[in-house]
Amino acid sequence: MSQTKLRIAIQKSGRLYEDSVKLLAECGIDLRNVKDRLKTESDNFPLEVFFLRDDDIPQYVEDGVADIGIVGENVLYEKNKQTTIVEQLGFGKCRLAIAVPRGQEYESVKALEGKRIATSYPFLTKQFLNDNNVNAEIHEISGSVEIAPGIGLADVVCDLVSSGSTLFMNGLKEVETILQSQSVLIKNNKLNEAQQQLLKKLVFRIQAVKKAKR
């Protein structure tokens, strides 16, 4: 039998990096020196780790460049790739929300009609607007979305929120929640039998770690 291993894609740096590496450690998987690496592997579990930008992880897993990955549901649904969620991981919790200038009246989603919405999540924002029969202009920007209304770039934002302090500091108030998100383990849809077995082993360990934390 050819040697089998699982290739996992995790965030290279950012909010999910620490928790992703920690989860693997808690699963008893030792990684060789992870700092400043593009990839590494484990000596005590047949796992190879690729460090990537979170935005690229759904595509890599769909393509089978990585077999599994850890990514936020927000990114997963925005990218809309063909992968399967295996397990919710309980970290990286946030929500994708629409926020308007604090002084602005807001009664219902109809208030968004004709507005300019700044977001890094055009797909999910569009879906929300369509579901609610609202026509609005989406302006895709890649960062610092919250300052868009303040500098006249947009009327409204659709962005990730966790504590809410960023919105507050920018004079915005949250009016609609589009998605509740946390990080999830995803898998490629065409894993072979041996890979499925390895994944089962990994998920069993993850569930044990989660249980111990309850």
Applying CB under 6 A, which residues contact ligand PRT? 11, 14-16, 53-55, 72, 74-75, 92, 94, 159-166, 181
Token digits of residue 172: 């915005």
Does position 55 bind Zn ion by CB under 5 A? yes
Nearest one of 61, 67, 97 to 79, comparing CA atoms: 61
164 binds, among ligand PRT, Zn ion, none (CB under 5 to 8 A by kind): ligand PRT
Comparison of 46 and 92: residue with beta carbon closer to ligand PRT: 92
148 in Cβ contact with 154 (< 8 Å):
yes
C-beta of 142: minimal distance to ligand PRT in Å? 9
98 binds, among Zn ion, ligand PRT, none (CB under 5 to 8 A by kind): none
31 in Cβ contact with 21 (< 8 Å):
yes
Q: What is the DSSP letter of 132?
A: T
Terminal alpha carbon distance of the chain: 39
Q: Number of residues in contact with Zn ion, rule: CB under 5 A?
A: 2
162 binds, among ligand PRT, Zn ion, none (CB under 5 to 8 A by kind): ligand PRT
Q: How many CB atoms lie within 10 A of CB 48?
A: 16
C-beta of 114: minimal distance to ligand PRT in Å? 25
